[in-house]
């Protein structure tokens, strides 16, 4: 890539890629509850209506600007605290209590698509979703069980954190991985790219020979990304793959707010429940191990990819992929650009 220093999307705080970003854990928003959220620099009010559906609206009432999170949920809509104007689930103004014959004006709240997956609430940054929340390819169509790892803030942009999982160059220097990981990149769709390791475990030490018995072919390690800020890593022996989703969203300062989600297939019965809690706990430990080694560098890094080398190939491919994503007009963002 000739001009990695001239990227328009990767790591740029003014640019928001159209896509799904995590908002809250589902359990944090109860039926009838409304909460404020600074979401990618924009103030929103999120509420769960009386039927259990989640809605995300611009926070400020179009009357005098009261924050809707001060209001209350009514049916599928929300009523402002201040003068009790009511907005329906699509953000339309439907009631001004002091006007008996109807509101008599058009004033609506902008609302955003939401969904719930992995026990998490997601908001889409475009008008209508063009694709689903990140899917773990291996578990597509399978009923899932999940739990949460850490919730965290990092000093750098989500894209910078995300490349860590395919920065094969640092696997040996930081994580002392005895395996020489080499990735092949596969475009799963226009917005999802997956990197699969292609190398086997070397048989140079006794414990490596032992571990390699659990892999019929190459060492399982893959990372896939959807829209650059949410992705999942898959690791583990052939008989048990662990899946960790890293859901990140950028702040208006270009920092990262993240949540790790541990995922496995649903297993039935008490035995299944017990097995899944063990698997998800083990997955959490794997995630923590990888995150721990890099914590310090993300506090001070000033990402500047001036000298990419061949060993950085996967990172370069990720950046090239991201540069083709559609961006949206956002609160603090640039005008919409389509670079592909």
Kindly list the residues in this chain that would bind ligand FES in the complex (CB under 6 A). Answer: 61, 63-64, 66, 80, 82-83, 85
Taking the complex as a whole, the smallest distance from the CB of residue 60 to ligand FES amounts, in Å, to 8
From the list Fe ion, ligand FES, none, pick the one residue 82 interacts with, judged by a Cβ distance below 5 to 8 Å according to partner type: ligand FES
Q: Which two tokens stand for residue 133?
A: 């929340």
Q: Which residues contact 256 (CB under 8 A, 6 or more apart)?
A: 153, 154, 156, 157, 158, 160, 161, 248, 249, 250
From the list Fe ion, ligand FES, none, pick the one residue 226 interacts with, judged by a Cβ distance below 5 to 8 Å according to partner type: none
CB 59 within 8 A of CB 36: yes
3-state secondary structure at position 144: strand
Residue (88 or 313) nearer to ligand FES, CB: 88
Residue (72 or 182) nearer to Fe ion, CB: 182
By beta-carbon distance, which residue lies closest to Fe ion?
294
From the list Fe ion, ligand FES, none, pick the one residue 24 interacts with, judged by a Cβ distance below 5 to 8 Å according to partner type: none
Residue (61 or 136) nearer to ligand FES, CB: 61
Q: Which residues pair with 185 in a beta bridge?
A: 195
Taking the complex as a whole, the smallest distance from the CB of residue 80 to ligand FES amounts, in Å, to 3
From the list ligand FES, Fe ion, none, pick the one residue 66 interacts with, judged by a Cβ distance below 5 to 8 Å according to partner type: ligand FES
38, containing H or E segment:
strand 34-39
Taking the complex as a whole, the smallest distance from the CB of residue 84 to ligand FES amounts, in Å, to 6
The neighbour count for residue 70, using CB atoms within 10 Å, is: 14
How many whole angstroms separate alpha carbon 285 and alpha carbon 119? Answer: 20
From the list Fe ion, ligand FES, none, pick the one residue 314 interacts with, judged by a Cβ distance below 5 to 8 Å according to partner type: none
Q: Which residues contact 54 (CB under 8 A, 6 or more apart)?
A: 29, 46, 47, 48, 114, 115, 116, 121
From the list Fe ion, ligand FES, none, pick the one residue 294 interacts with, judged by a Cβ distance below 5 to 8 Å according to partner type: Fe ion
Residue (109 or 280) nearer to ligand FES, CB: 109
Q: What are phi and psi of 149, to 5 degrees?
A: -95, -125
CB 45 within 8 A of CB 80: no
Candidates 148, 142, 196, 146; CA nearest to 168 is 196
Taking the complex as a whole, the smallest distance from the CB of residue 48 to ligand FES amounts, in Å, to 20
Residue (72 or 324) nearer to ligand FES, CB: 72
Taking the complex as a whole, the smallest distance from the CB of residue 171 to Fe ion amounts, in Å, to 7
CB 201 within 8 A of CB 208: yes
From the list Fe ion, ligand FES, none, pick the one residue 301 interacts with, judged by a Cβ distance below 5 to 8 Å according to partner type: none
Taking the complex as a whole, the smallest distance from the CB of residue 141 to ligand FES amounts, in Å, to 44
The neighbour count for residue 287, using CB atoms within 10 Å, is: 22
Residue (24 or 225) nearer to Fe ion, CB: 225
Residue (56 or 69) nearer to ligand FES, CB: 69
Task: Mark residue 153 as left, alpha or beta (left: phi above 0; alpha: psi -120 to 50; beta: remaining).
Answer: beta
Residue ranges in contact with Fe ion by CB under 5 A: 164, 294
Taking the complex as a whole, the smallest distance from the CB of residue 81 to ligand FES amounts, in Å, to 7
């Amino acid at each position: 890539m000739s001009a990695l220093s001239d990227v328009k999307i990767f790591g740029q705080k003014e640019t928001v890629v159209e896509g799904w970003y995590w908002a809250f854990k589902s359990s944090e928003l109860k039926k009838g509850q409304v909460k404020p959220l600074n979401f990618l620099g924009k103030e929103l009010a999120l509420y769960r209506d009386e039927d259990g559906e989640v809605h995300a609206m611009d926070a400020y009432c179009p009357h005098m600007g009261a924050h809707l999170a001060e209001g209350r949920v009514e049916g599928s809509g929300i009523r402002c605290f201040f003068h009790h104007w009511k907005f329906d689930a699509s953000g339309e103004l439907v009631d001004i209590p002091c006007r008996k014959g109807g509101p008599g004006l058009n004033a609506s709240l902008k609302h955003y698509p939401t969904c719930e997956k992995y026990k998490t609430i997601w908001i889409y940054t475009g008008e209508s979703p063009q694709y689903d929340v990140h899917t773990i390819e291996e578990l597509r169509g399978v009923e899932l069980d999940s739990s949460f790892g850490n919730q965290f803030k990092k000093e750098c942009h989500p894209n910078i954190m995300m490349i860590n999982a395919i920065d094969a160059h640092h696997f040996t220097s930081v994580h002392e991985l005895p395996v020489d990981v080499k990735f092949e990149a596969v475009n799963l769709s226009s917005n999802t790219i997956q990197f699969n390791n292609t190398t086997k475990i070397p048989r140079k030490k006794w414990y490596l020979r032992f571990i390699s018995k659990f892999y019929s072919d190459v060492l399982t390690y893959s990372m896939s990304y959807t829209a650059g800020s949410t992705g999942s890593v898959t690791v583990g022996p052939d008989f048990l793959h662990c899946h960790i989703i890293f859901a990140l969203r950028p702040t208006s300062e270009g920092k990262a707010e993240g949540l790790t989600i541990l995922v496995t297939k649903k297993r039935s019965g008490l035995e299944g429940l017990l097995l899944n809690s063990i698997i998800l706990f083990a997955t959490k430990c794997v995630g923590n191990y990888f995150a721990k080694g890099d914590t310090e560098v993300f506090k001070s890094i000033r990402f500047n990819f001036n000298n990419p080398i061949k060993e950085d190939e996967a990172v370069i491919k990720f950046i090239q992929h991201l540069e083709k994503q559609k961006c949206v007009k956002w609160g603090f963002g640039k005008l919409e650009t389509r670079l592909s």
